[in-house]
Amino acid sequence: MDHICLTIPVLPGSGAAARSFMGELDSTRREDYADSEQRIGIEKELWFISGLGEQEMLVAYMEAGDFGRALGLFSSSREPFDMWFKEQLANVTGLDLNDPPEMQLPELMSHYDATASVAGAAQTQ
């Protein structure tokens, strides 16, 4: 399982638009969002907005069996919801996921999962 956390700077003056975009994912676009995530293989996705002084950042946490594959599928997708999502993200961050930049994914340094710890303890007894 890939665990991915990305930070994406929000363009100056676009904080309200970023919040509106994220709000649509949990309301009017919820069903389409779920369909998209299932189609590309994302099992969990959480979005946060964080302020660093005057700079706001979108912080995304994702879990997928193969995140690289999921990102490739999403980037090449021309499904209406996926195109809308990529347009909204580009509008508030400048990041174009139709043609994502070369990037090295963040390195997972530590991971704790209470259910895995309980299951592991039960197996050793």
- In the numeric block, which tokens belong to residue 74? 């999403």
Fold of 2-124: Alpha-Beta Plaits (3.30.70)
What are the residue boundaries of the structural domains of the chain, listed by start? 2-124
Q: Could you give the residue ranges of the DSSP H alpha helices within the chain? A: 15-25, 30-40, 67-76, 80-93, 114-124
- Dump pLDDT digits (tens) for 20-71: 999 999 999 999 999 999 999 999 999 999 998 889 999 999 999 999 999 9
pTM: 0.86
